[in-house]
Amino acid sequence: MSIRHLLPGPVGFGAAPLGNMFRSLTDEEARTTLRAAWDHGIRYFDTAPVYGAGLAETRLGEFLSQYDRSEYVLSTKVGRLILDEFEEPSTRELGEKGNLFQYGLPNKIHNDYSADATLRSVEDSLKRLRTDRLDIVWVHSVAQDFYGDDWIARFEEARTGAFRALTRLREEGVIKAWGLGVNRVEPLELTLDLAEPTPDAFLLAGRYTLLDHERALQRLLPAALRHDVDLVVGGPYSSGILVGGSHYEYGEAPAEIVAKVERITALAREHGIGVKSAALQFVLAHPAVAAVVPGASRPSRITEDLAALDQPVPAPFWQALRTEGIVSTGAPVPQS
Residues labelled catalytic: 46, 51, 77
* Helix (H) or strand (E) run with residue 225 in it: helix 221-227
Answer for the pair 51, 104: CB distance below 8 angstroms, yes or no: yes
Answer for the pair 332, 318: CB distance below 8 angstroms, yes or no: no
Cα 116 to chain center, whole Å?
A: 25
Give CA–CA dist 90/100, Å, rounded.
8
List all residues 6 or more positions away from 13 whose beta carbon is below 8 Å from its beta carbon: 34, 37, 42, 44, 45, 46, 293, 295, 296, 302
Name beta bridge partners: 110: 81
Please state whether beta strands 247-248 and 251-252 pair in parallel, antiparallel, or not at all (unpaired). antiparallel
Give CA–CA dist 98/92, Å, rounded.
7
Which of 126, 92, 125 lies closest to 110 in space, CA to CA? Answer: 92
Which of 287, 151, 155, 137 lies closest to 224 in space, CA to CA? Answer: 287
Answer for the pair 202, 179: CB distance below 8 angstroms, yes or no: yes
Give CA–CA dist 70/93, Å, rounded.
37
Answer for the pair 81, 121: CB distance below 8 angstroms, yes or no: yes
Q: Where are the beta strands (DSSP E) in the chain?
A: 13-14, 44-46, 73-78, 80-86, 107-111, 136-140, 177-182, 201-205, 230-234, 247-248, 251-252, 289-293
